[in-house]
A and B are shown apart, each in its own frame.
Chain A
């Protein structure tokens, strides 16, 4: 895909998003800014006072029908191990800090916060908020939630985000002070994901772990009603929701439909109101006048990873040659019908404040790749046996295309499809396979993307490769509150990952699409599905 085309796509994306935002923001003052708010900014409290021009307050009514590909595994935000559980939690929970669609942060259950000095943050909680079981939300309840996140017995993966926290102190019913060992600019945005989905302490204490995972209790606009495994989950409006007059829906029904063809049929027949089409399905519905398609670039990406501990990958010339041998534009055409962005480094374009659209490295150049291989002593190439991969048949075209592209420079790939657990264990922990084709899970915080794989001590860093100076930069980024400055640090790290480490062949990053029926009002898509459902309404 050419730059021009990509820019065209971007323009389309932003226009679609903008159109939806304009259409949907009827007087609210929390329209996301084009750039995310820096974490140091104290967010404005959200007021929902309607302006004079707004017609009479909408009546509550209707059920919003959504779709997921699989059942959630766990609805307790602190026990959950997968980001795919998040959409199922969103109706039930308000987040402590709300994540905006561009991954900025704004007021959630914490109405405002004040970074006293780099190491102390005082949060002011919203008053009059109740959990679905009637327990009031106060500083004690929030503290109990964070304490549970670091509880060794529970071993929550959310605990990792609080390792920098030295002390959490209840100042009053509505004031909570959090102190960190060192300045931490990321803490607030960590609280805008599962870690910040505050559980009712009463409900947590009166249920077993297994019971609670199926019956979570939050302060959100909807309470969980019924969970029929492998079929659907229903939610109904919470009458005591703290924002008067909200939610505007009677309920939400989230269907589990595995097959995309069936899901598309259900969307076209009107059984689903919102649907995320596969890139290849977009063409089938984009001319439908009764819906709006929004799209954004995924916060995760696809890559091909080399194991440096195995020969001949110890030689950086070989690794660079393998990066240059891939025609990424052709891959995007083949796999996503052109609906993806070329990726040259580890910063996805959705993190606009850090992404550098002009950054290019190892562009497609098979002649140079062959020259580098010959220089490294492999004029006739070599065989990589095996290249492990997992996932359904949908991934196969990519691997076969790579096989062909590498064949052009004399490198033969033997493919081996294995289970995902085996792949990640065998490749990332035991280092027994030479190469791995995989995808990185979407992350809402760039620091996580930059730490995973590249930090010398990270569990997924094959060979525990240390890039000189890299880990120090990570620490520096963590303590940098200024987003522009932090973006610069990440770009510096990106350069190191690409030039000095060169263990990854970065491939591409697909667009994610969401089609919303026009009778669904104020549905503002969010990359991690943290849609503000309380304000969504249906007007037929």
Chain B
């Protein structure tokens, strides 16, 4: 069974069709990318998956279950976490607290027992902190836990956002342009991190403009242009597809 399946998904905004009849299947355990020129509908496709928008037509299945009618937070509970194109951290809060908020869906103790400060509630809170610190180590931010999130350099803020998404223990991680604004060495570290996330068994779907990163890490690439899927397959296949070259560079002159 595919982890994620989009069936003829269409999304219109008034007269504009941002995503048009896109079919997409994502197998578990891989890194896949969605690429395309600006305005191709990539972020809209992500927002459809994350429940920010409902499809105008078509349906989305996650682990065989339809996502229709679910709100964003319910979808997170099902195991689909995301990051944002423009970083959206809880700025004045500490890095650790950002991750603890990411773990919100994992907290099982009732609010009442947290208020009464029961041993079970305290144990859960302690375990959550340990797990968040481990996640910070995993993304390479050990030692930054107690700094305010907005005091970190840009590249590290991106990592905090990824760590926050990982804290929800997702099955599928959506990364919206994770390398945007990163320098080459940061991008290299990010590429390596995405590989390690996949090795943990978490499927990764990313939107990315850095073609080198996409080609290096993805097993599957989907190309969108003007809302349509124009090509799909391995990185090698896609990079040689004339339709893709045309979308990016324009049609050759006669």
A and B held together in a complex: no
Chain A residues within CB distance 8 Å of chain B: none
Residues on B lying within 8 angstroms of A by beta carbon are none
